[in-house]
Amino acid sequence: MAITTASNSFNEEGTSSPIIENPHLAKTSSIILVLTIAGFIISEFLHFLHIANIGLSVIALLGAGTLYLVNGGNRKDILRRVDYSVLVFFAAMFVVTYALWSSGAISMIMSHIPSPNPQDIVQSNMIISFVSILLSQILSNVPFVALYNLVMLNNGFAGDAHISQWMMLASASTVAGNLTILGAASNIIIIDVAESKKIKAFTFVEFIKIGALVTLANIGVYYLFITYL
């Protein structure tokens, strides 16, 4: 959440290397980052054992809050350096997704695509893969999964008997971000940050030339592994 201020120096080889100007903030941020990631892992483990269900958002908020509280002298700087445009961007994506769902636009698109059959793992995994890659380019993969969860539940995909289809959804929606820049919000964010630093980023066409091959190879391996193994 916080970014330490740094300046560049040149080492003996002549390459640029950053100098950390606030070692305390850098150390504190690193420790809290490690603890937050550990919290994510522990939360998932406790949820798997049906001991407790602690939301990942709660852990992330605790990590951010702790970082803010322990760095009293840097609080204003931390708040100033938060990339609020990213937060607004993420929130706006979910608003757009809900609007598309409420308007019936998604239902119209889905009416032209066969519904996955809970009793046919080969067919359902193929449909889920196709829909995940297609709609992720329209909605971005994270909002798409939040939406398609409801579609799968309405089609009877519930319980351990359909773990394969849920794994397929997770895998296909993830690799969907490799196809185009629009497939994942992280692509847009990284390119936006690069351009703000005057670094030449991928164009849409350059990205898809490589992304199409990577996505095709990934989804092929995932489909065969999840469906048949």
Where does the pLDDT of residue 70 fall: very low under 50, low under 70, confident under 90, or very high at 90 and above? confident
pLDDT digit string, tens, across residues 210-219: 999 999 999 9
pLDDT for residue 6 is more than 50: no
Name the CA radius of gyration of the chain, rounded: 21
| pLDDT attached to residue 5 | 44
pLDDT for residue 180 is more than 60: yes
pLDDT for residue 145 is more than 80: yes
Bridge partner list, 225? none
CA angle 173, 176, 182 (to 5 degrees): 115
Please give the model's pTM, rounded to 2 decimal places: 0.74
Q: Are 145 and 168 in contact (CB under 8 A)?
A: no
Where does the pLDDT of residue 17 fall: very low under 50, low under 70, confident under 90, or very high at 90 and above? low
pLDDT for residue 12 is more than 80: no
